[in-house]
Chains A and B, each alone.
Chain A
Amino acid sequence: DIQMTQSPSSLSASVGDRVTITCRASQTISNYLNWYQQKPGKAPKLLIYAASSLQSGVPSRFSGSGSGTDFTLTINSLQPEDFATYYCQQTYNSPLTFGQGTRLEIK
């Protein structure tokens, strides 16, 4: 199985900050990488697919980059509604594993 490792596991930031979350795959996965946002008690929501493509309806302050084994999710100008947990997911091969999550908290 491909292991996905996110860093940091948790992060404190303020409204208006720019934050970056990193995801590393245990083997090369090309650009088969998605990012999801999850708020407490809610289902995950797709933000970014194919490493850098913004899902329809997602604000442009979210962006993704990377290829191979190293990927990043960047959120520019944090908004109050962005405080949540973020997961990466590889879709290169089954099982379509997720990272352990990064909890983004208000400073």
Chain B
Amino acid sequence: EVQLVESGGGLVQPGGSLRLSCAASGFTFSSYGLHWVRQAPGKGLEYVSAISSNGVTTYYTNSVKGRFSISRDNSKNTMFLQMGSLRVEDTAVYYCARDFAAAAVTKFDYWGQGALVTVSS
């Protein structure tokens, strides 16, 4: 069974840092790209960041560029999101999602349960 489990969320002050983890099981981790998507309280889904299966290619949405860093450890089946210079507007549930990319189809076919990050003084 495919599982993605986020951890590392919590309360942090503005300007602070936090590292989220996404632990995967039930599939060949090193064969799949992964994404982070966030959802502010009562709001819609916002695409945040992505990493290729080998970790070489990354992407960041403009609002987090220079502040967030995505990485992965394929030996530990885990992806990370290092978040720095956090702002109140970064408060959200952060989801990791698996990217089933094949034959020009990209779809987020499995999602974690989410990790809540609250940025507040």
Contact = CB atoms under 8 A, between A and B. Distances in A.
B27 interface: no
B105 interface: yes
A95 to B, nearest CB: 5
A91 interface: yes
Interface in B100-121: 105-109, 111-114
Dominant secondary structure of chain B at its interface with chain A:
strand
Interface residues of A, number: 24
B106 A32 contact: yes
Nearest to A34: B107
Contacts of B37: 44, 98
Given A91-B106, A96-B106, A44 B45 contact: yes
25 contacts: A34-B107, A34-B108, A36-B45, A38-B45, A42-B113, A43-B111, A43-B112, A44-B37, A44-B45, A45-B111, A46-B107, A49-B105, A49-B107, A53-B105, A87-B44, A87-B45, A89-B45, A89-B108, A94-B50, A95-B59, A95-B61, A96-B50, A98-B44, A98-B46, A101-B45
Interface of B: 35, 37, 44-47, 50, 59, 61, 95, 105-109, 111-114
